[in-house]
Structures are given as C-alpha cells and as structure tokens.
Structure 1
Amino acid sequence: MEHGRRVAGRYHLIEPIGRGGMGVVWRAHDDLLDRPVAVKEVLHLPASEDDRAIFIRRTMREARAAGRVSHPNVIVVHDVIEEDGHPWIVMQLVQARSLGEILRDHGPLVPDRVASIGLQVLDALCTAHAAGVLHRDVKPENVLIGPDNRVVLTDFGIATMPEESTSTMTGSITGTPAFLPPERLNGRPATPESDLWSLGATLYAAVEGRPPFERSSPVATMAAILNDEPAPPRRAGELTPVLHGLLRKDPLLRMDAAEAADLLRAAMPGRSPAPGGTTGPSPARSTAPDGTTRLPSNEAPAPPGGSGSSSRARLLTIVLVPLLVAAAAFGGWYGYHSLAAGDSATGSTGGTTTGQPASEPIASPSQSPSPSPSPSPSQSPSETPAQSPPPSPSPPPSSAGPDDDVPAGWSRHDDPLGFSVALPDGWTAYDRKGRRVWFRKPGSRDYLLIDLTPWTDADPVAAMRTVERTSTRLGLLKGYARIRLDAGTYLGVPSADWEFTHTPPTGRVRVLDRAFRLPDGRCFAIYWQVADARWTTGLPYFQTFADTFRP
C-alpha cells in the first residue's frame, strides 16, 4: 500500500503506525471532517469466497460492537468501509503506546501502576459487558497508555455480541494463545468471565514481565493454560490475590469484576484498609474480604415507631438495602444518608451521616476511590450476563408442606435471626449485616436475601412504590423495567411482590422482592435475584424458598 492513498475518497493514509497478524493501522486524516484518525486495514487471505464473505461480516460486526460502547477507556470507532475486497475501520487516533510495547522497552511495571491500568481496563470491560459486547482479545498489545496515563482498550477485532450467531474462521480459534482462557480452548463460547481471565493474564504479564502460561510454542502454551497452574508471582505484591482470582480455570469460580476492582484499588498507593478487610475510604460502606458490600454499623435502622420523615428513612433502610448494595457495583451509589436526604429525612431519628453529599454519585472503577461490589457475585451486582448454571439441585414445582417436607437435595437452615428456610445443598450464608443475611451457592451469581429490618408503613405495596420511586429517581437501577407490583397474602398477612429487571455491568438480571409484616410486628423481605435469561428455571427456587420459609 502506497502512502498518500485515500480510502473511500476521504481518508488520506499518511504512515503505518502499527502492524499485526490481522492487518495494518495507519495514521490518517479525514479530509471531510478535517481531523486526524487511525485507519485499520484489516487483511485476510481467504481460502474461498465464502470465507471472505464470512470474514467481512465478522469485521462489520466488530465495528458495530465497538461502536456500541461509549466510554473514555474504549477506543471510538467512527466508520467502517469495504474497499479492495477487505474492510477498513476508521477509529479515534490515540497518541499512546501499547502496554506490550512498554513492557518490551522497559520491562515489568511496579504493582501500583499495574493496578491503575487494570482498574481502567476493568472499567472499560464492565461498560462493554453491560452493552452486551465481549472483547475476546484482551492482551497487552490492545491496551494503549497515553502520556497522561489514560488507558484505552482497543481492537475489538474479534469482539462478538452474544445475541448474534458466531462467525468463526474455519478450523481456528481467534485470539492470542497466551491470553486465551481455558474455557475457550476447550471449545466453549466466550463469556464476560473469559474477558476477566484475559485481563488477569494481561496484568500478570505487566507485573511479572511474561504471560502466566508462556511456553516455547503456542501448542505448549495452550496445554499449560488447560492443565497447569501459573507460576507463583514474584513481583506482584498486593496484586497477587487478584491475579490468582482472575486466573481460576473454572469460570464459575473466577473472581468477579466487583471484587477485582476492590483488590486492584487496594494495591494502589494511599489506600488504607477498610474495616471489612479491603480498601474503602468512603464512609458510605465497607467491603468484606470476599468482596461483598457491607453497610457501616452507624447505618443501623432506628427502632420502630415515630412517623413522617423518620418513618420514610426507616422504610428506605430496609427495602432499599438490596438495591443500594447492588447499585454500588454499577456506578449508582449515593449512600443511605443521601437517599434519606433525598426523601426529606435528613434529620430523622436513626439517620446517618456518611459525609457523602447527596449529589455525588459513585464513579466507575477507574474514577472512584471505592466502588462497591454487589452482595452477590453477579455484581456488579453485578458483571456480564451471569453465566453460572442454576444452583443444583433443581427444586420441584412449588409444594408447600409441613416443616419436614423439604425437597430432596435441599436442607433446612435455622437462622439466628429467628427464621428457617430450605436451601439447596451447598448453599451457605455468605454475608450478614445487622438484620440481613445473604445466601448463595459458591460460584453462583444468583442470591437470596432475607431482611428483617423494621419498617413502619402500614401497606407493603405503598412501601414498595416508595422504594421504586426513590431508586429510579436516583438512577440506582440502570435499564429498570417494572414487571409487576402486586398486593397479595403470604403466611396469612398482607404482602407485596415487586418483580422487575435491571441491567448491571454483568448483564440483565431479574428480581422478585416480597415484603410482609407478621402479626407480632416483625417485618420481612424475601429478595431473590437471578440472571434474566434463566428466570424460567430460577423462579421455582423462589417458590420453594417461600413455601419452606418459617418465622
């Protein structure tokens, strides 16, 4: 290709600035809009015309995928063209060097710088996953670092959107072997967890100076990814836990984005440990060692009683808790005090003083000193559409019965909070705070929350509507869609069922939240969250939880 050529009559190619197995990237000028751009000339030697057509369709899909993601840490795609029988992708020109080039020129980086890079890449991935886009080729060469240390994730060259059929090149696996996760080498499709594994391999390479499974040949490298454990990091320091968590071979056991963000932040300088064990300078909440969110002790609800604004504050404490911890993971945290203030309850008895203004939302992982993960590993609550299978074993259809009539494969859990419920074998109470307890199976993103925090509204439906108005007004539920908010009767008392969907970074989830008050005055909420795509198989779990729940 001669310098000086114009593509599509408007993009003047000036000089090549990068080369790879899939083509050449040119510094160019857009004569129509009078701006510098980067133009990727995507090259491929097809075996047949059918192969060429598949390749072009894939590349067009790449441009659409990248164009769907708007984020400061993601390269901007301006245009896509087909000329001379192959695609050209017009992108934002970023004055930056790749992480791969930096490592080759200067060697391994110090852990705190790698942590900063990792947070920015993780933020970009979470945004892409929330849009339904997978990168599928996270590696040092695709991480650009500018002179101001801004990180840009580029080259969604093998990106795919889960809702589209996958076009792959015949007989090949696309991607760079040293950064391909084991599930893809085993022939399974890419998932958001796959991108997280590749991020872990990229960070390992950045701090150790070599990929975690690098061997003498691509085949040996892939075999090591499938069968070996990575060599213990020697230079990683405080990054070691996040490297181990992201490089777990089983995607169901792999560290999620929210926990990874907390651990990356903990590895940065100037971060003091939070009471829960990781970093968290924000007084709005602390974080447990397993990455779950915990509200601080001074946010305990006020005793029952009272009226007016204090009643609303207590109501928000109980019913908004699941939403608050969930919202923290996808960039909507305001803190309990902020919510109460927004509902004219600032000075109520039992209110809190988090020190965080009501107008200050949490930023994304690369911008905020302490984003909070979800109480469930779906993070963000988060992270990607949840890929974990439904918990095992499958529950039977709803079958209320006596206390000893627990489904096969389930067992009754007697909780110190004063209730019992049947749980699938293997499920545990993985977090507690005050009068709240969360249950899940290790590795699953679905979770059950039982909340006994008191509230004073006489009508549970009205209580739920207040929570719905407040949480949507504050932007805590991205992509929120109410399915129903119905009055009912449960255990012989009035109840409310609030069913809705929203979209954290990990993908769309569906929630069923049941609130009721017993004659003795105790208030309960049974909150069940599952990936929206698995709602049909997830709903029987809620029915069994409800059928076996006993105060």
Structure 2
Amino acid sequence: MSGGRGEVRWNAATQKWETVDETATGPAAAPPPVPAVPPPPPPLPAVPPLAPGPGPYPTTGAYPEPPPVREPRRTRRVPVAVVVAIVAVAGAGGGWFLTRGGSGHPKVAASSPSAPSSGAPERTGEGGPSPSPSASASASASPSATVPAGFQLVQDPRGFRMYVPQGWTRQDQGAKGVFYNSGDGARLIQVYPVSEAGLSPYDALKQTSGELAKNPGYQEISLANDATVPGGTRAARLVYAYDNQQLGHRRQVVDYAFLTPGGEHYAVLSAAPATVWPEQEQTLKTALSVFCSGTNCLSPTAG
C-alpha cells in the first residue's frame, strides 16, 4: 500500500505487517534494518536402517578364547659325554666297593645306609629300594680258637665266616656284598666278591682308586701289593680317605683284596672316622684272622 492514514507496511524488526498513522506525528521512523535470518535448511532424507547380519562374535556377548600361541620348538642339546656318578657311600658309614660292570671290569657302585632296626627297606644310591636286611648271620664259637673280646664269630649265609664286633647288624646288598654296621653307623665292615676273571687283587684296588679319584675330597693314602692278611696270605692293600657329608666327618677306609686258597677273589674293607685311625685296620685284621669261604680258609688254624 502507498502512504496515508492507515497505511500498512511490513516491519522487518517485528517481522509483521503494521498500520502506520502519518497524520499524528509524521512519518513513522523506520526501525533500523535487521539482517534477515535465512530459513532453516530442509530436513535430510531419512537413512534406512541397516539390514541385520552375522557379526564376528556371538550375540550373547561372550567372546571366544583367542587361539593359543605356539612357542617355537626347542631342541634339547645332548652333551657329548654323559658323566655317570659311579662313586657313592657304602653302608651307613659309607665305604667304597666294587661290583660287576657290563664291560667286564670292576666299577665303583653305591650302597645305602644300613636298614634301621625296624627292618624297613632303604633306598640304594641307584635310586631303587634295596633288599631288606636278611636274617642275621649265625654266631658261633670255634672250639679251637678264643674269640677276641668284643667280637663274635659269625657264619654268614653267603658262605663265608669271620669275626664281627658284637652288636653290629648285617645287611645283604646282593651283588654289592654284605655289610656289618655299627649301631651309630659310624663304623662298618664290608665283604664283597670280585668276580672279574683275570683281574689281580692289586689291579682291582688300583682301578678302584682311579675311579674314586674323580670325587672331591678323595685322597689315596697308600696302595701296596705286598701286604698279607692273617695267616700269611698275600694281599693288596688300599688306604684312602674322603669327606662323608652324610655323617659330617672325614672318613678313612682300609681295603684288602686277596685270593683264598681255593682261588676265590674277595675284597674286605673296614671304615671309620679318620680321627680313630688305625682302629679300622685292627678291626679288619681281627675279622680276617678266621676268614673262610666254605672250606677255603686264609689261616690253616681257622679251619
């Protein structure tokens, strides 16, 4: 519309049409222009929902266990030389002794402490149970000899006879021989046959000492081929010492190897703490003074 009373104009400030009365006060002052607000943009078209499909995990939310990680295979290196411990402590006191080896030569083997009075089997140095102590050797007195004080004459089930200190207990270790042990385990006598054909008593003890030399604390004190046992039988004699960790003292051993008049090869040793030397040798000489294997006796008077 054009000017005059009641003229209608668009008021940009109020964004509406208004009637303007110019006769009263004159032309109405136009309000300052207000920037036009652009109309809002048209709405975006609706995005259709995605069709459901299989997901990587179960809908329960339980995630599967990851596959195990495979570690690289490692090859165990086998040493070129396998060291076999063939030296151990014999009996409760720990004597060294010979057994038959597969090569036809003697080797040092191991024995366990003597079995307790209960008769329960012990474990040998090879890791298996040793035989339970067999029945005690029968004690007897020779009518032609006086038994030394503190000893008794025993006829061992293995077929030999000798003097043994009173109160000592017997244990048969099969191929390893027979042990007579003191009650406290500090002293022992061991009798074992040397079965290798053609091996002299001296060679047997020399080879034994060579094997024992590989062990820490071993000391060969003497090795002789001109010894004799009671009755005058020629014998080889080995004296050595070592540290007995089980008993906590240094140990000294005297070992005699000899042939009986019938050609049987025996080795008999006596072991005790090194501090009581030469008690071991005196005990061994007393034991051998009436030693017989069957009818083969070292001393003619022992028969």
TM-score of the superposition, structure 1-length normalised? 0.28
- The higher relative CO (CA closer than 8 Å, separation ≥ 6) is in 2
Higher helix share: 1
Larger radius of gyration: 2
TM-score of the superposition, structure 2-length normalised? 0.49
Higher strand share: 2
